[in-house]
Structure 1
């Protein structure tokens, strides 16, 4: 008898536990993982988190908080996984490579005849360079923040006809989402089906990822997907996702359960017949690996400053963030899905470090200070500009009575505040573009409010001072 001294119920419970361990059933998270997730939520104010730590055949899950519908987060709650989708797009291309439909070193124009650019160097861009972000495409010559965004991959590719490259193909690494929209269009053209249908039929269904799908746009409706959240100074508000082009580069919607399957597939312990071992390794470590980036995956250190011994990829949208990372050869991996902004890569790294016996990186949210400063500036600027508007007549009377009115120097500060308020959101992100106002509303709402206060109240105060001066001039005439 295996447990001769135990009561019958205890023996049954022990047998169940032993069976679960032997079969690799999902186990509850231990205290360290719980603490790390709770600390993360406290630092970033994240409404909902679904996390998992994989260690060989064991999978520990940690779920916390609520979704955008107010329901408790579970391992089956749907999340947008944002740029983690790139790993799936790269795998889709690699499936076609395994089937002999193309080579990674084929020029894109060979497999995508409709691909054109206003730059003769575009003919040298290869499929590998698209997947490794070394194509020469750049946000400086091809802005990804266009409103309204393109509706599908065909439109995205067609929109490149008038664009140029920022560098010779293969000479510089720059993360650019359009690369993966091109890759998704290649999949569509060679498979003769829609990108989402190909992913479902060739990747998700064989891996049992039945709750996973993709959408062309970042804000497109997906069945069973609640809204994400905007979190400012600890206050979480359910909000729609910012409109954007997510085709092939960030449009996948999934669950923790399904993403665990995806990670285990990439670890080589699940779905082993789907891709050849060489192709799977190529995705994680393939040349040229500029910027540490392979093909839909990126090398990372366990802790800051350490050697790049991990493979992972993060994902960031305005109201969704996530991260996945694994340690090749150890069987250890971590996965984090959240329904708000933040730094999930820090949490996944800490979960993995804890399991590998490495020190955790302290967590802090720099946006807490940024938003507190913006709130203070907004309150202060509102008070100043409202006071300037209310006292405009008194100000005009003093200027009329002064021997040297000096109107231009007195009005210039209000003009500067007004103009800067209009330009600030665009200037924060780079060269001026009015579309960056939309980006700011989603990513830094307090900056948008501060800019709006400066622009609107500055213009009101400036206009009232001018009107009061003119009125007094007429009255004295």
Structure 2
């Protein structure tokens, strides 16, 4: 009986992954990462053959300790699941990767005749020609469904001929989600749940349409600025198909093992699984929901992975097809989890680790200094506006205008800078900046508001000073005059 129990335990370990104590090096890498990025909570795992080593640190948005069953938004790591859903339909001969979109989505239209040449493969490899330059993905309020996203392309154009160049564009995967809905007759979430999550035993995994939609058991993520972490809601956005999955460390370990071909082998054909990880033509290293990338910056691509980034959640997963070693990182704040997952994998295969540093630490420190300095200058300008106006009462108008130009430029800069740093002019980028770079938004708000106040105050004081200078002087009344009046 004892031998049977031992044998049973070995079989379970091989099939589902044996959880072993974490290596001290892995723990140190996770702790160093949290120290560098100020990350409140991290759940990480390293898969090596039949063993799975987990490292959990910190707290979730409700203040509870992070565990292997804590739910995280996995952001763009969701794309690997959307691509797998498409491959399930391919395996069932419902569609082909090289089918034109107009064949599988008869209602798909664009204001560009080239749209008829877009294929399912090009959607999954980001070579469709869709671009943020012609299809702004940061509109507010965001679309609420895959159907609405596809319908919104009717008046959009392509930035390149389909299949000629790569540009990472989330809308591609929202279109893929719509393909799943139309071909299967199920909602995208229902299809994922029935055809992927349930067969793989991913009981803590689900998906939402919007990036900020509430979900059962999902705590909030965090904004971290200069080491200070504040629980915050996620930025609204369209996440269906491209970033809406919520999962746990335990479930994501199952997902990685499935993609390694060591778990759930009967769910997808070996050929389709291999296709998901194969770099596509003109795709710049992108496969289908996965990317080929190096272990170190100066090394050739040798591993397959995909990261995910939202305003308050980040994560990354990576595996080596040759060695079978894989690493997974889920965090509840911003940062660079791809660096941590790659270092965890590198440590196991004997490759050098990449030093960790957070460039936003310097950026945020500079922005804070600029904000304080600008606020001091502009408040001083407001307080001394009357003195400034009295000294310039006799100034000619052209010279006066020149003296007001710096304040006007500061005000305009504060208003438009958040709309320009993302590559296109749109005041909706103020919302993006507020979530992703809050200190930049604070600096711009300081420039815009205090600059306008200082400018208005100077003009008002100058106008009053001018009125005082040119007001008619009434002659003094003598006692003789008073007597004559009497």
TM-score higher than 0.5: yes
Cross-structure match for 2:157: 164
Cross-structure match for 2:477: none
Cross-structure match for 2:230: 237
Match of 2:71 among 59, 78, 84: 78
SS at match of 2:352: coil
By how many angstroms is 1:253 displaced?
A: 0.2
Q: Does 1:293 align with 2:275?
A: no
Q: Within 5 Å, which residues of 2 pair with 1:356-371?
A: 356-371=349-364
Match of 1:192 among 170, 175, 185: 185
Cross-structure match for 2:482: none
1:84·1:314 contact (CA, 8 Å) conserved in 2?
A: yes
1:137·1:179 contact (CA, 8 Å) conserved in 2?
A: yes
Cross-structure match for 1:385: 378
Cross-structure match for 1:36: 29
Cross-structure match for 1:147: 140
Cross-structure match for 1:469: 462
CA distance in 2, matches of 1:214, 1:404: 62
By how many angstroms is 1:288 displaced?
A: 1.9
SS at match of 2:18: coil
By how many angstroms is 1:329 displaced?
A: 2.8
Cross-structure match for 2:430: 437
2:327·2:345 contact (CA, 8 Å) conserved in 1?
A: yes
CA distance in 1, matches of 2:464, 2:88: 75
Cross-structure match for 1:341: 334
CA distance in 2, matches of 1:18, 1:283: 30
Q: Does 1:283 align with 2:276?
A: yes
2:163·2:282 contact (CA, 8 Å) conserved in 1?
A: no
Cross-structure match for 2:407: 414
1:380-419 Cα distance to aligned partner (Å, 9 max, x none): 0000000000000010011125689921121110000000
CA distance in 2, matches of 1:190, 1:300: 32
Q: Does 1:100 align with 2:71?
A: no
Q: Does 1:315 align with 2:308?
A: yes
By how many angstroms is 1:289 displaced?
A: 5.9
Match of 2:175 among 178, 182, 189: 182
Structure number with larger C-alpha Rg: 2
By how many angstroms is 1:179 displaced?
A: 0.3
Q: Does 1:262 align with 2:262?
A: no
Cross-structure match for 1:25: 18
2:279·2:291 contact (CA, 8 Å) conserved in 1?
A: no
CA 1:123–1:405 in structure 2 vs 1: closer, same or farther (change >3 Å)?
A: closer
Match of 2:123 among 112, 130, 138: 130
Cross-structure match for 1:11: none
CA 1:287–1:18 in structure 2 vs 1: closer, same or farther (change >3 Å)?
A: closer
Cross-structure match for 1:397: 390
CA distance in 2, matches of 1:107, 1:282: 18
Structure 2 portions without partners, runs of 5+: 1-5, 472-486
Match of 1:56 among 31, 49, 54: 49
SS at match of 1:291: coil
Cross-structure match for 1:428: 421
1:86-112 Cα distance to aligned partner (Å, 9 max, x none): 000000000000000000000000000
CA 1:99–1:21 in structure 2 vs 1: closer, same or farther (change >3 Å)?
A: closer
CA distance in 2, matches of 1:328, 1:74: 28
By how many angstroms is 1:475 displaced?
A: 1.9
TM-score, L = length of structure 1: 0.95
SS at match of 2:141: coil
CA 1:285–1:405 in structure 2 vs 1: closer, same or farther (change >3 Å)?
A: closer
By how many angstroms is 1:473 displaced?
A: 1.5
Q: Does 1:201 align with 2:174?
A: no
1:50·1:61 contact (CA, 8 Å) conserved in 2?
A: yes
SS at match of 1:336: strand
SS at match of 1:97: helix
By how many angstroms is 1:302 displaced?
A: 1.2
CA RMSD between the two structures: 1.8
CA distance in 2, matches of 1:403, 1:420: 26
2:71·2:218 contact (CA, 8 Å) conserved in 1?
A: yes
Cross-structure match for 1:6: none
1:399·1:405 contact (CA, 8 Å) conserved in 2?
A: no
Structure 1 portions without partners, runs of 5+: 1-13
TM-score, L = length of structure 2: 0.93
CA 1:317–1:149 in structure 2 vs 1: closer, same or farther (change >3 Å)?
A: same
Cross-structure match for 1:8: none
CA distance in 2, matches of 1:122, 1:15: 57
Cross-structure match for 1:303: 296
CA 1:104–1:393 in structure 2 vs 1: closer, same or farther (change >3 Å)?
A: same
SS at match of 2:53: strand
By how many angstroms is 1:287 displaced?
A: 2.8
By how many angstroms is 1:25 displaced?
A: 2.1
Cross-structure match for 1:271: 264
Number of residue equivalences = 464
Cross-structure match for 1:213: 206
SS at match of 2:329: strand
